[in-house]
Amino acid sequence: MDRMKREANDDQLRRIFAELRQGDQGPVPPFERVWATAAARTGRRPSRVRWAVATACAAAVVVVAVILLHRPSGSDFAAATQLVAWRSPTAALLRVPGDDILRAVPSIGAALMRFETLQPAADTP
Amino acid sequence: MDTDALRDQLAACHEDAFAWAVHCCRRDRRDAEEVLQTVYLKILDGRARFDGRSALLTWLFAVIRRTAADHRRRRLLRDWWHVAPGEGEAVASSNPGPDRELHDSEQRDALSGALTRLPERQRQVLLLVFYHGCTVEQAAAVMGVGVGSARRHYARGKERMRALLEELGWTE
pLDDT in tens, A41-60: 887 666 677 888 899 999 99
B44, B108, B161 ranked by CB distance to A23: nearest? B108
Mean pLDDT of A9-19: 81
Same domain, B22 and B91: yes
Same domain, B2 and B16: yes
Domain boundary among B95, B123, B145: B95
Q: Buried b / exposed e across B35-69, counting CB within 10 Å, b at 16+? A: bbbbbbbbbbeeebebeeebeebbbbbbbbbbbbe
Residue span of the structural domain in which B133 resides: 99-172
pLDDT of residue B67: 94
Return mean pLDDT, chain A. 79
pLDDT of residue B92: 42
CA nearest neighbour of B158 among B125, B120, B128: B125
Same domain, B114 and B132: yes
Same domain, B134 and B77: no
pLDDT of residue A44: 65
Helix axes B29-45, B56-82, angle to 10 degrees: 120
Residues 6+ apart with CB under 8 A from B145: B121, B153
User: With an 8 Å Cβ cutoff, are B130 and A42 in contact?
Assistant: no
Same domain, B83 and B4: yes
**Alpha carbon distance B155, B161 (integer Å):** 10
pLDDT of residue B23: 87
CATH number at residue B121: 1.10.10.10
A23, A35, A45 ranked by CB distance to B7: nearest? A35
pLDDT band at residue A124 using 50, 70 and 90 as cut-offs: low
**Alpha carbon distance B128, B57 (integer Å):** 11
Identify the segments of chain B with pLDDT beneath 70. 1, 82-107, 169-172
Same domain, B89 and B113: no
Same domain, B38 and B87: yes
77-136 of B, contacting A, C-beta below 8 A:
101-102, 104-105, 107-108, 111-112, 126-127, 130-131
Same domain, B117 and B144: yes
Q: Does A46 touch chain B (CB under 8 A)?
A: no
pLDDT of residue B103: 47
ipTM value: 0.71
The residue among A13, A41, A42, A45 with the most chain B CBs within 10 A of its CB, best to mutate, is A13
pLDDT of residue B148: 94
pLDDT of residue B91: 41
DSSP code per residue over A103-125? HSPPPTT--SS-----SPPTT--
Domain boundary among B40, B68, B95: B95
Residue A114 in this model has a pLDDT that exceeds 80: no
Q: Does A7 touch chain B (CB under 8 A)?
A: no
Q: What is the pTM of this model?
A: 0.61
Domain boundary among B63, B95, B127: B95
pLDDT of residue B161: 87
Same domain, B13 and B80: yes
Top-ranked range on mean pLDDT: pick from A65-79, A97-111, B140-154: B140-154
Same domain, B172 and B116: yes
Same domain, B45 and B103: no
pLDDT of residue A115: 63
Same domain, B113 and B155: yes
